[in-house]
């Protein structure tokens, strides 16, 4: 009943949440060995999330992020007409 697109987006959101959780745990830990372990987990989770993002891009399922308005282009278009 669920599409591949929604499941891939859900997994990608969970990866982002995992990286945030590891970062929060690392900031609250006073042990240096755990901080190193958390940083390794963040790297592995980030690589996994990157693979998911690349799959979203390949399938054209990822939305285009908001862009700034190119005001110079708008001025050029309005002065030409």
pTM (2 d.p.):
0.64
Q: Given pLDDT bands bounded at 50, 70 and 90, which one contains residue 81? A: low
- Distance, in Å, from the CA atom of 69 to the CA atom of 65, rounded to the nearest integer, reads 13
Mean pLDDT over 48-71 rounds to 84
The two three-digit tokens of residue 69, written as one number: 């308005």
CB 15 within 8 A of CB 48: yes
User: Which of 35-48 are b and which e, b meaning 16 or more Cβ less than 10 Å from the residue's Cβ?
Assistant: eeebeebbeebeeb
User: Is residue 1 pLDDT above 70, yes or no?
Assistant: no
What was the pLDDT predicted at 21?
94
Tell me the average pLDDT across 65-74: 83
Q: Note the pLDDT tens digit of each residue in 29-57.
A: 889 899 899 999 999 998 998 898 888 88
């Amino acid at each position: 009943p669920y599409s591949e697109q929604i499941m891939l987006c859900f997994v990608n959101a969970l990866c982002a949440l995992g990286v945030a959780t590891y970062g929060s745990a690392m900031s609250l830990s006073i042990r240096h060995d755990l901080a190193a372990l958390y940083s390794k987990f963040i790297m592995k989770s980030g690589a996994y999330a990157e693979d998911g993002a690349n799959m979203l891009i390949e399938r054209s399922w990822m939305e285009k992020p908001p862009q700034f308005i190119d005001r110079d282009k708008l001025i050029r278009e309005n002065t030409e007409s």
